[in-house]
Amino acid sequence: MNISRLQRTVFLLLLAAVTAAFVWVLSPFFGAVFWAVALTLLFHGVFERISARVGRRRNVAAILTLLLVILIVVVPMVLVGSAIIDELASVTQRVRSGEINFRAYFTQIVDAMPHWLTDQLGRFGVFNVQDAIDKISATLLAGGQALTTKVVTIGQNTLIWLVNLGIMLYLLFFFLRDGRALAGLIRRSTPMSEEQTQALLGKFATVVRATVKGTIVVALVQGVLGGLALWVVGIHGAVVWGALMALLSLVPAVGSALIWAPVAIYLLATGSIAQGVGLIAWGVLAIGMVDNLLRPILVGKDTKLPDWVVLLTTIGGISLMGISGFVIGPVIAALFMAAWGLFDQERGQLLERPPES
């Protein structure tokens, strides 16, 4: 018995070690693996319908689904990304040439403020106009230079990006074709009851689908609405600002307002009252309502997560894991709540069980 127990302990330690080593080896491609899994969950229904039409030939169905993913996901992403990089390069050039001058913009805003307000704020030491202008201008210029550097880095790392894209598409083919078998293997291998494993895998799939679909739909709608509004009021680089609003909308509640609100303040301060009021109304009634109405329907309804949990885990996920964190954060929160729910359910069953005589 002691020898048998020792052998089992050694085996379990070996199993844990090789599993950790396997995860460590795959860690450079974590993003590619994760998005292959996410796209598999999103397009699994499409794959099954295509498979039914081609006589259950799963290789053919996987290839056709893969081509569909490239057509409606990868190609638009590459085209929009190229447009954003070109527009950002143009905006950066105008900043360097002085055509866009953040200091002048903030000076105009401060000059438009009532003198009694600036005097009172300065008297109480709450607000020093010149220092604020210098600090905000320096911050924006530093942020613009960092963003430009990041874009240049992305351009230099195009080969790495293409390698990760190729790995993701390669994995997507096998995950689509062998998804059922892989899910069954996970259910059989996990050292938990079948009901617990099924519940956690189901929660994982539901949250990934809801978060990706919901967040991307909200981001696209807000980006289009925001970019269109800025183009109408005559702001240069509307494509870049719209893309930034789409990216910032990944953060619930406050995201896109970080772009359109300062622009509206600038328009009001510089005498463009109609444009400023119109942009505020559009931002609150159109862009804001998209987040308030669509996100709970598309994300919160399926994930069954409170809004504050979605907000905190989205921000935390992005800060820790980059762009993939807007999905991973809520997924971790959902699995956390589901696991504790299962634990509470099992504990209740044990308490209700009559004691053995």
Query: In this predicted model, what pLDDT tens digit does every residue of 219-232 receive, in sequence order?
Result: 888 888 888 888 88
**Per-residue pLDDT band at 246 (split at 50, 70, 90):** confident
Rounded CA-CA distance 253/275 in Å is: 23
How many whole angstroms from its chain centre is CA 158?
21
User: Is residue 9 very low, low, confident or very high in pLDDT (cuts 50, 70, 90)?
Assistant: confident
Cα(59)–Cα(178) distance, integer angstroms: 10
Residue type present at position 271? G
- If DSSP codes are grouped into helix, strand and coil, which group holds residue 200? helix
What does the pLDDT look like over 306-333, one tens digit per residue?
A: 777 777 887 888 778 777 777 888 888 8
Determine the pLDDT at residue 65.
92
Tokens standing for residue 325: 């964190």
Q: What is the pLDDT of residue 171?
A: 92
Which residue's structure tokens are 């739909």? 217
Handedness of CA 341, 342, 348, 351 (dihedral sign): negative
Could you tell me the sign of the dihedral formed by the alpha carbons of 60, 61, 66, 69, in that order?
positive
* CA 323/CA 308 separation, integer angstroms: 20
Against a cut of 0.75, is the pTM above it?
A: no
CB atoms within 10 A of CB 192: 13
More reliable by pLDDT, 286 or 89:
286
How remote is the C-alpha of 128 from its chain's centroid?
Answer: 37
Rg (CA), the chain: 26
Least Cα distance to 143 among 106, 105, 102, 107 occurs for: 102
Between residues 233 and 291, the one the model is more confident about:
233
The average pLDDT across 162-185 equals 87
The C-alpha atoms of residue 147 and residue 124 are separated, in whole angstroms, by 36
Residues sharing a CB contact under 8 Å with residue 137, sequence separation 6 or more, in sequence order: 102, 103, 106
Amino acid letter, residue 210? A
Neighbours of 48 (CB within 10 A): 17
* Percent of the chain with pLDDT strictly greater than 90: 7
Residue with tokens 């430009």: 148
Q: Nearest Cα to 329, choosing from 247, 207, 217? A: 207
65 touches 74 (CB < 8 A)? no
Cα gap 204→202, rounded to integer Å: 5
8 A C-beta contact, residue 230 and residue 282: no
d(CA 168, CA 271): 50
- List C-alpha distances in Å: 314 to 35, 42, 243, 248: 17, 20, 19, 11
CA distance linking residue 142 with residue 323, whole number of Å? 22
Task: Report the pLDDT value the prediction gives residue 21, as an integer from 0 to 100.
Answer: 92
Please write the tens of the pLDDT for every residue from 59-77: 899 999 999 999 988 888 7
